Amino acid sequence: MNPIGQVVRIKTVNKTTKKIVLIGSGHSHLFFLKKLTSHPHADPEALKSIVIVSPNKDEVYSGLVPTVVSGYCYADQALIPVEKLWQKAGVMWIQDSVLSIDRQRKTVLTSVGIEISWDILSVNAGSTLAGYQSANILPLKPFSPFLKGIEPWIQKIQSASFNSPFHVGVLGSGAAAYEILQALKVRLKNSNVRFSMVSGRPVLDRYSQKISRWAETQLLNQGVNRLTQDWDLKESFLQQKMQSLKMDLLLVSTTPQVVSLGLEEKKIRVAANLQSTLDSSIYASGDSAQFSDLELPSSGVIAVRQGRILAHNLYEDWQNLQRTSGRRVASTHAQFIPPARTLNLLTCGDQKALAIWGNYFKCGHWIWRLKKKIDHDYIQSFRNLL
């Protein structure tokens, strides 16, 4: 409900206008934004038929999070100004979160009680981790509050004098956990601090065993304490474990949960064109989508590839919605084919990055410079639209 206790309904601009509603402003929807700006539309009323609902004015680019933590760029350099971008494109921007989707009525309801009707819906709401009341337990997602929360701890560790090493734990062993640990080691290399990584799974186990063994050996050589345990995520349990291990700060980087939107399924099962297999008027991508029977990794690389497909299909559908029924053209939807392998670049040390391509991997300074250029170019490609 809104502050005065009533549901506010956003209806079509006029009786003939059809509406596309986008939930979230992640990688995939940003490619649709690029498509709109690269194909200017003469009718501003048609652009207003596109509604974007997102809780954040700025989106943190995940690829730069380790770079920010390691101290090689400022937090604002990792931000994509999504509100300004969507507003400049001429679409309707609503800063809010979606609570639920009603497939029968074709409406979405936001947290402040705005009800929006849609003809085509696209879900790219991302994922999150459980929140904690304790200031010394920080989930890595969402990235924006994590970056705001970790900086005071870094300043404290760098400026304070401790009788015993300040103990930082990382719960998780995937790519995000590995990168954040490496970034903190770089930032705190001159501080009295020790690190532990807690996970019953091998480090970087979504890649090959060879890569995982290399990463485990690297952490051992760096003096990182490996606790091969699976911890309950309840706050009381985590605090008990931290107390017994004399752990001062815990960063949680376990498998994130898809943002719940009140549907029967947490992830929307999609076909190759990223349309829901249950409802062709709904698209889903990124962490919000379940592609066939494959469990794709939560990865910016996958989201970017899906984004290009989604942008093509949404733009085509949007154009068709603006046409009268007699002028509509046959669909030529693009198809997303999950890649057999992708190039992944991970922070692995002081101005070093790890390149992974199938079973091949290499860690070096030149790879870090390559990653830095790719990240910079990606951010700049959106800022150039302003």
Better pLDDT: 26 or 221: 221
Cβ–Cβ under 8 Å, residues 182 and 348: yes
Residue 361 scores a pLDDT above 50: yes
Which residues lie closer than 8 Å to 156 by C-beta, 6 or more apart?
Answer: none
In the chain, what are the domains?
8-126+259-340 (3.50.50.60), 137-256 (3.50.50.60)
Residue 210 scores a pLDDT above 90: yes
> Percent of the chain at pLDDT above 90?
65
- In tens, the pLDDT along 248-272 reads 999 999 877 766 676 767 788 889 9
What pLDDT is stored for residue 324 in this prediction?
Answer: 59
d(CA 182, CA 179): 5
Q: What is the pTM of this model?
A: 0.89
- Nearest of 166, 164, 131 to residue 149 by alpha carbon: 131
- In tens, the pLDDT along 91-111 reads 999 999 999 999 899 999 999
Sheet strands (E) in 140-179: 166-171
How many CB atoms are closer than 10 A to CB 19? 22
Torsional sign, CA 164, 170, 171, 172: negative
What pLDDT is stored for residue 8 in this prediction?
Answer: 54
